[in-house]
């Protein structure tokens, strides 16, 4: 029978439900901090500052006594504003320069006589009608300092990359619980600290640390919840982690609409998940990790707590569980006369033959494309016209149904047969957007939502599909390398969005080309729906050829009783990262 979203929620026992929802609730803060810069680092209209008090302002045929009335008429960065000071001087104000007119007999917009060119030594004047303050206006990150503003999101994503690697390793060494505690508290502390940084460089450094703990939490929380939920609910559990991330994006849109001062905006975003920081200390360590560390007494305590919550009168004993696993291990060894290989595998094993190498290149491309498209559609949403807050909210909301569709498609149509059409569809949508007239704001927004939906399905699906495409001996390596390509895509995405200044459709063109190429190459990948996980590279290669495995060996199956006991701890987990 198909496993639906309703069945997923019903399948969770009370203890697992508490742990799951408490953990994924904090995933919202990851979505919040990942996309916070879309409003925090926005650049409003601006012109050079002036060395005196203004008596009158002229913009084409419109005359005002102050600049506030002129900003609504500003349409192009090539425009300039003419101002007359109280001392009679007349200045032309451009965005990155200003000119003093030598002849001041008449205040007119057009002027052909001599004028002196000056730099913006008196700072800049900003349009405060939409945003009272941003980091750009706070530290004048415009003109020759504009590149500093453009580094804000890429440096954050670089922190995401490094944090996932560091905290993923620490979680394996010290346990999931401690990393959950540290990273959730770190998100709150660094989130608040960002709001009170004293200059641009301290702002970037603290946000880099915030990115590391946010990324670390998302990776470890995924592993944490999958080790508590049952095997049958694992796919849906992982997908719903992404859904809470999307809800964080929606929170960014809502807070951005209500708060227009960047540091107050940052404080409100940081306290949004404060309840979890206060209660995360009650979350236990996973029995799965405790057993792997041979801390059997601690594992038994957690199992007993789970039993009391779930009203199970006779909780399973760790000693029985370990004995069953030991019996299965012995039977597996006696069924295979070959000695166990102790070879350490590395990245080159993902290119051991042509079939596996082609598979690896395709999978890496899908990871990269999924991340690139995800963040290009998200970061570009405030530039689509109309209400930028509503745009970002809708871009986040459209993710919620896309993960349900992804799960249903994976179970009904298969992994490959779901991935291919949505990758190609996202490419076609990118092309379609290019042909929509720029004044059709609603059509553009709907098309971008459809593009985000399509790439979101592919992005959510690739996690599980990668794990199924590779054998046990290199499965973690394959997913880890794919996840690394994903993070590289997230670092590249902001730079891709900046290419709008070259050509407005350049980001969409790049995403469309990558999605189309990925969709075509995916056709050569094998379908994994209903197929057992492979153990060796030979078996994985033969799966791609649609032939029976040459090895003739299959991993020993757990007995029914053992499987029921092990289910709550999880079999294999796949780390994921946005």
Q: What token pair was written down for 527?
A: 């379908």
Helix (H) or strand (E) run with residue 74 in it: none
Q: What is the pLDDT of residues 186-200, one digit of tens each?
A: 999 999 999 999 999
- Looking at residue 536, its pLDDT comes to 80
Contact 406, 421 (CB under 8 A): no
What value does the mean pLDDT of the chain take? 81
- Residue appearing with tokens 């729906």: 529
Q: Report how far apart, in Å, the C-alpha atoms of 96 and of each of 221, 515, 537 are.
A: 46, 38, 60
- Looking at residue 340, its pLDDT comes to 40
What is the location of CATH 1.20.1250.20 in the chain?
A: 18-44+133-283, 350-543
The 8-class DSSP code of residue 527 comes to P
Q: What is the pLDDT of residues 160-170, one digit of tens each?
A: 988 887 887 78
Rounded average pLDDT over 416-430: 94
**Residues linked to residue 425 through DSSP beta bridges, in sequence order:** none
pLDDT band at 528 (very low <50, low <70, confident <90, very high): confident
- Looking at residue 374, its pLDDT comes to 92
Say whether pTM exceeds 0.75. Answer: yes
Residue 569 scores a pLDDT above 50: no
Residue 424 scores a pLDDT above 90: yes
Q: What is the pLDDT of residues 246-261, one digit of tens each?
A: 999 999 999 999 999 9
Rounded average pLDDT over 216-239: 75
- Looking at residue 476, its pLDDT comes to 66
Could you tell me the fold of the domain covering 350-543? Growth Hormone; Chain: A; (1.20.1250)
Residue of 515 and 289 predicted with greater confidence:
515
The CA distance from 496 to 278, in Å, is 38
Helices 200-226 and 152-174: angle between axes, nearest 10 degrees:
40
> 343-377: buried (b, 16+ CB within 10 Å) or exposed (e) per residue?
eebeeebbebeebbeebbebbbbbbbbbbbbbbbb
- Looking at residue 316, its pLDDT comes to 67
Residue 576 scores a pLDDT above 60: no
The CA distance from 547 to 203, in Å, is 56
DSSP 115-130: EEEE--TT-EEE--SS
Q: What percent of the chain has pLDDT over 90?
A: 31
Residue 185 scores a pLDDT above 80: yes
Q: Which of 6-15, 74-83, 368-377 has maximum average pLDDT?
A: 368-377
Q: What percent of the chain has pLDDT over 70?
A: 84
- Looking at residue 293, its pLDDT comes to 76
197-206 contacts: CB < 8 A, separation 24 or more?
Answer: 199/139, 200/135, 200/139, 200/141, 200/148, 203/135, 203/139, 204/151, 204/152, 204/155
Residue 318 scores a pLDDT above 70: no
Q: What is the pLDDT of residues 391-417, one digit of tens each?
A: 999 999 998 898 888 888 888 888 899
The CA distance from 217 to 26, in Å, is 8
Q: What is the pLDDT of residues 268-314, one digit of tens each?
A: 999 887 877 877 778 888 887 787 777 878 878 877 887 777 777 76
- Looking at residue 555, its pLDDT comes to 42
Q: Which CATH class is domain 18-44+133-283?
A: mainly alpha
């Amino acid at each position: 029978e198909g496993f639906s979203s309703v069945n997923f929620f019903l399948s969770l026992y009370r203890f697992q439900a508490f742990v799951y929802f408490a953990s994924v609730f904090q995933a919202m803060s990851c979505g919040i901090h990942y996309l916070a810069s879309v409003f925090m680092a926005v650049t409003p209209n601006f012109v050079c500052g002036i060395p005196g008090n203004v008596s009158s302002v002229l913009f084409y045929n419109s005359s005002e006594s102050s600049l506030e009335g002129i900003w609504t008429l500003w349409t192009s960065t090539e425009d300039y504003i003419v101002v007359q000071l109280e001392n009679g001087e007349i200045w032309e104000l451009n965005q990155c320069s200003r000119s003093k007119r030598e002849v001041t007999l008449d205040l007119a917009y057009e002027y052909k006589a001599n004028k002196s060119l000056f730099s913006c030594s008196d700072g800049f004047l900003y349009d405060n009608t939409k945003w009272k303050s941003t980091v750009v206006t706070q530290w004048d990150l415009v003109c020759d300092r504009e590149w500093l503003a453009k580094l804000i999101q890429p440096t954050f994503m670089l922190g995401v990359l490094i944090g996932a690697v560091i905290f993923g390793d620490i979680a394996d060494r010290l346990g999931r619980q401690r990393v959950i505690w540290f990273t959730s508290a770190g998100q709150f502390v660094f989130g608040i600290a960002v709001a009170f940084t004293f200059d641009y460089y301290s702002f970037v450094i603290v946000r880099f640390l915030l990115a590391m703990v946010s990324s670390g939490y998302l990776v470890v929380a995924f592993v944490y919840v999958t080790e508590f939920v049952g095997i049958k609910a694992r796919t849906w559990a992982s997908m719903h982690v992404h859904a809470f991330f999307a809800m964080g994006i929606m929170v960014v849109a809502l807070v951005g609409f209500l708060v227009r001062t960047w540091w107050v905006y940052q404080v409100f975003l940081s306290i949004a998940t404060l309840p979890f920081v206060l209660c995360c200390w009650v979350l236990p360590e996973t029995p799965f990790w405790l057993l792997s560390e041979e801390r059997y007494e601690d594992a038994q305590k957690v199992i007993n707590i789970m039993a009391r919550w779930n009203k199970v009168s006779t909780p399973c004993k760790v000693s029985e569980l370990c004995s069953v696993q030991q019996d299965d291990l012995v039977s597996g060894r006696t069924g295979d006369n070959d000695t166990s290989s102790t070879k350490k595998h590395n990245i080159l094993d993902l290119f051991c033959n042509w079939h596996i190498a082609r598979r690896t290149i395709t999978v890496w491309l899908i990871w990269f494309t999924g991340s690139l498209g995800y963040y290009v559609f998200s970061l570009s949403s405030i530039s689509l016209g109309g209400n930028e807050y509503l745009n970002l909210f809708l871009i986040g909301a459209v993710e919620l149904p896309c993960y349900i569709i992804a799960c249903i498609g994976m179970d009904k149509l298969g992994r490959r047969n779901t991935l291919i059409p949505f990758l190609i569809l996202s490419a076609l949508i990118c092309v379609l957007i290019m042909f929509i007239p720029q004044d059709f704001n609603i059509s553009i927004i709907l098309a971008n939502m459809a593009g985000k939906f399509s790439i979101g399905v592919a992005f959510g699906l690739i996690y599980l599909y990668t794990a199924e495409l590779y054998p046990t001996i290199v499965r973690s390596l394959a997913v880890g390398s794919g996840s690394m390509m994903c993070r590289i895509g997230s670092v590249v995405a902001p730079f891709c969005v900046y290419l709008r200044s070259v050509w407005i459709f350049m980001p969409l063109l790049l995403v469309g080309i990558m999605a189309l190429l990925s969709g075509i190459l995916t056709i050569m990948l094998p379908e994994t729906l209903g197929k057992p996980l492979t153990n060796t590279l030979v078996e994985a290669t033969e799966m791609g050829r649609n032939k029976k495995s040459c090895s003739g060996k299959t991993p020993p199956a757990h007995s029914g009783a053992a499987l029921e006991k092990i289910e709550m701890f999880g079999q294999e987990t796949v780390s994921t990262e946005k």
